[in-house]
Chains A and B, each alone.
Chain A
């Protein structure tokens, strides 16, 4: 998470846009930027590894999954709209799933979608217009942080959701419903999560008509990430309260 923030800072400072893929070790619960931990989370959720994301949205248990992050300037998308940017930046996921032969689309276009909108403490439990449904079920989740000129977006692509763990982390009434959520494995992905990366990267390149160059974060970005980790992401108070729970900035 700290490295994501360091990369976002590079974009903010005028650096190139980026698309990053990564995995979680150990498994951990990520929390939305301003998520109130008093709502919907169990006592056990306070005992597992946790981190607070820079992005909005609800909590996600990251275990057997592939995660992506991307950062760009709003100018790169030729739109300042939130919804328009989701459509552009999540389009490569829809393309990927369709290439695999899956019945995929945005929730706003799906006749079988449930009620859209409304915050859920568990990301996978809610449905929003630009959530992606496969066979009518929500696959993964995507959320943004927006500043005046830049957009940072996270996305979670679970290979195998373990609802028994989700039932322990989220209180009744807030848990993702197995009947309305799905994962890559259930959709038919038989490969590993790393094997999905080149497929997604090619869809991203094609959808946004961009050239992707494979690079590693710079030494300076790693140094900055370590500083951010110590100042913020590894700070239990930051994780507990977030940047805005004092209500005043």
Chain B
């Protein structure tokens, strides 16, 4: 099993110890532009793959983002509430959105691993 997977919408999910962090790809955030507001999910919320779980506002667009896998929210990156621009400067590291526990392995099957993601991005 790989450690990081992507959706074609630009969400990623990456192993972080026993849990999984979720965020947005460099290209997804770059395309959205300067992020000015982030709405995060409630800690403890059970989420299903494909469920709208975050809302972002950039200068010209408000966009919903979706959970890439099934799971339960165990933590959120509350720094983004006061520093939404962190998503622009570090989308795949410090700008993670939330953390999931108990991600079933088979819910990763529909996602792209890093190599497949890079190939898919290159072909766009």
Expressed in whole angstroms, the minimum distance between the Cβ of B16 and any Cβ of chain A is 21
A34 to B37, CA, bound (A): 7
Q: Would you call A17 an interface residue if the criterion is a C-beta within 8 Å of the partner chain's C-beta atoms?
A: no
Measured between beta carbons, the chain A residues less than 8 angstroms from B61 are 55-56, 82, 143-146
Task: Evaluate whether A146 and B60 lie within 8 angstroms (CB atoms) in the complex, with A244-B39, A249-B54 already known.
Answer: no
Q: Would you call B93 an interface residue if the criterion is a C-beta within 8 Å of the partner chain's C-beta atoms?
A: no
A interface majority secondary structure: loop
1/0 contact string of A38-58 vs chain B (CB within 8 Å):
000000000000000011110
Expressed in whole angstroms, the minimum distance between the Cβ of B78 and any Cβ of chain A is 8
| A to B contact number (C-beta, < 8 Å) | 97
1/0 contact string of B39-68 vs chain A (CB within 8 Å):
111100000001011110111111110100
Q: Would you call A214 an interface residue if the criterion is a C-beta within 8 Å of the partner chain's C-beta atoms?
A: no
Q: Would you call A117 an interface residue if the criterion is a C-beta within 8 Å of the partner chain's C-beta atoms?
A: yes
- B63 contacts A145, CB within 8 Å? yes
Q: Would you call A142 an interface residue if the criterion is a C-beta within 8 Å of the partner chain's C-beta atoms?
A: yes
The residue that A248 contacts in the complex, of B34, B37, B76, with Cβ under 8 A, is: B76
Task: Evaluate whether A146 and B63 lie within 8 angstroms (CB atoms) in the complex, with A32-B57, A56-B58, A244-B55 already known.
Answer: yes
Q: Would you call A118 an interface residue if the criterion is a C-beta within 8 Å of the partner chain's C-beta atoms?
A: yes
